[in-house]
Amino acid sequence: MTPRSYFLDHLRTFMVFLVVLTHAGMTYERGFDAFWIVNDPAKWNGIALIRLYLDVFVMATLFFIAGYFVPLSLGRRSNRDFIRAKFHRIIIPWLVAVFTLIPAYKFIYLYSRNLPQEPWFTYFHFFRYSAGDAAYFPHNPTQSWLWFLPVLFLFQLIYLAMYRANWIKRKITVPVGLAGILVLGIIYSMFISLIGSTGWTHSAFFDFQRERLIVYFLVFMLGSIYYQQQAFSNNQRQKKLFVLANIAIGFSLALYTMFALNLFGNLVNPGEAYYFLSPGLDRLVYYTSMLLTMLCFLQIFLYSFHRTLDRPIRIMEVLNPNSYYVYLIHMIILGLIAVLLLPVGIPAVFKYLLLTVLTFFISHGLVYAVRKGLKNRIPPWMDWVVLGALLMISATALVNDKTSDWVAESVNLPDINLHEAAIRNDTNAIKQAISKGMPLDVVDPASGSSPLMTAIVFDQQEAAVALIDAGANVDFQDYGGSTPLHAAAYFCRPRLVQYLLDHGADPTLRSKDGLTPRDVVSGSFEEAKPGYDKFRESLGPLGLKLDDDYLERT
């Protein structure tokens, strides 16, 4: 092993590139309109599978690398010096970022959708509009990609406490650490799932995915075990783990893909839920295969980078020092470039690749220029000036946020759920939402449908016409690839079929099942009846009424 771990520097930079790749893809993936910085109408379904795999190991690898260096960082430092160093390295940049980049995120979000900008104090991540839609970013700003930093700071503090309490045992071996992550990760993830607590927690300081928080901490601790055991000097063991990982990943990745896609499909269409084994066992296989896949990817990357890239590389010597700050700023650069690409008429896959490459290298260029330009020019006490200014801004914004009655009136934020308005055929609420500039294609988290599709399904024709006239996307596609025209044809709404066609709906678009709107009604009523029965069962409590005689005749 070389005196400096070049390969881990290279690996960290590569993982940051994969973060950019993931975030660029969400611009062109369906289902993120409500909260993603830019929503480009150009879509490519293949992105969903890429994100499914990257989501398994990218952030875990970054936590591992941070954990590997924490014993070295602690060294002979006192508790105070260690905390001060981490506060300076992690929390000060995070504070600057959440008070500048999150407002920039919301500005780009609204600008890219041609929506009016809102009062300044609504742009901070701790603002909450209680009467709004929690999935709609302007109502519920979050830390988004910046969640990683406070969580990492917490892990560093926990490690410090464990180290001082002599709870960290050097005799824990790498295989024991790997097995511990797998076993404890499965137990923890299943527990969170069984108590119905999966999903994200959002707060002013911590944002985290509940079912992954402890898993990430275990991976962080695994990194420290690798350092303490000098694991990379044991080439024989690392090679064995590499071989085992290559053998296991084929099996685990296949299981993960199959069970993850089925699980997400069940979440989208709960009325048509299918399980390979049972709800509990399917969830167990999902978490087990995900954790095993994560560990396999981690071991493969560690061994490959250590064996082939543990040396200085000229281009990486330029990129590596920038990677931390590239992670911090890349989202805003991505948003600006994505806005510029909106009118560009090229396939989504090319936009995706172009956005990824431009974001990565422009971000590196900006960070490099700033690092060179400001090197040794900012005095150490400036951190505390910045911190004080940000706390004053925070206090002022919180004062405005607490006067909720005044905020609701003066901010004039939309408090209308368009899906509920569509179900009720509440055209007054729809017109009010239109006048306030609300996005008309807000995605229903469960089905991926738009308010127009909801109105069509529930046969609320006045609501549907109002949405179409206001410019709702007549070619919007839900998670299953169905369009408003698919819905109108399937539920036998002939007037709405014609109205959609008159307003430019494309009758040739296919769902993910490969069906056009004409195809969904080409079979016999008996073939279609089980589907109608499922919709009647799942949406009947919300007011859906289906007349079998009418459907059969039509």
What are the sequence ranges of the domains in the chain?
234-299, 418-553
- Confidence label for 170 from pLDDT (cuts 50, 70 and 90): low
Give me the pLDDT at residue 354, please. 97
Alpha carbon distance 37, 142 (integer Å) = 12
Provide the β-strand partners of residue 208.
Answer: 201
In which residue are the tokens 């061994």 written? Answer: 303
Q: 174 versus 372: which is more confidently predicted? A: 174
Torsion of CA 336, 337, 338, 340, to 10 degrees: 90
Question: Which range, of 189-203, 271-285, 491-505, averages the lowest pLDDT?
Answer: 271-285
In this predicted structure, the answer to whether residue 502 has a pLDDT above a threshold of 60 is yes
The rounded percent of the chain whose pLDDT value lies above 90 is 46
| Continuous segment of H or E residues that includes residue 201 | strand 200-202
H or E segment at 371? helix 348-374
Q: So what's the pLDDT on residue 393?
A: 54
**Cα(245)–Cα(252) distance, integer angstroms:** 10
Average pLDDT of 343-358? 94
Give pLDDT, residue 270.
Answer: 59
Residue type, 532: Y
Choose the weakest-confidence range: 101-110, 120-129, 169-178, 412-421. 412-421
List of residues 6+ apart from 345 with CB closer than 8 A: none
Amino acid at position 229, single letter: Q
Give the per-residue pLDDT at 139.
80
- Reported as a pLDDT band with limits 50, 70 and 90, residue 413 is very low
Q: Is residue 62 pLDDT above 90, yes or no? A: yes
In angstroms, the CA 103 to CA 111 distance is 12
What's the chain's average pLDDT?
A: 85
3-state secondary structure (DSSP) of residue 19: helix
Q: Domain 418-553, CATH 3.40.50.720 — does that match?
A: no
Alpha carbons 324 and 28: distance in angstroms, whole number: 25
- Alpha-carbon distance of 228 to 171, in angstroms, equals 9
**Percentage of residues in the chain having pLDDT higher than 70:** 88
353-370 as b/e: b if 16+ CB within 10 A: eebbebbbebbbebbbee
Answer with the residue of higher pLDDT: 408 or 87.
87
Residues 6+ apart with CB under 8 A from 546: 491, 532, 535, 536
Q: What is the pLDDT of residue 235?
A: 86
Q: How far is CA 453 from CA 46, 199, 446, 459, in A?
A: 24, 26, 13, 10
351-377 mean pLDDT: 87
Mean pLDDT of the 256-260 span? 93
Question: Which of 159-163, 269-273, 509-513 has the weakest average pLDDT?
Answer: 269-273
Tell me the mean pLDDT in the region 454-481.
88
Tell me 88's DSSP state: I
Q: Counting Cβ atoms within 10 Å, is residue 378 exposed (0-12), middle (13-18) or buried (19+)? A: exposed
More confident residue, 169 or 72: 72
Lowest mean pLDDT among 215-229, 333-347, 529-543: 529-543
pLDDT at 402 over 60: no
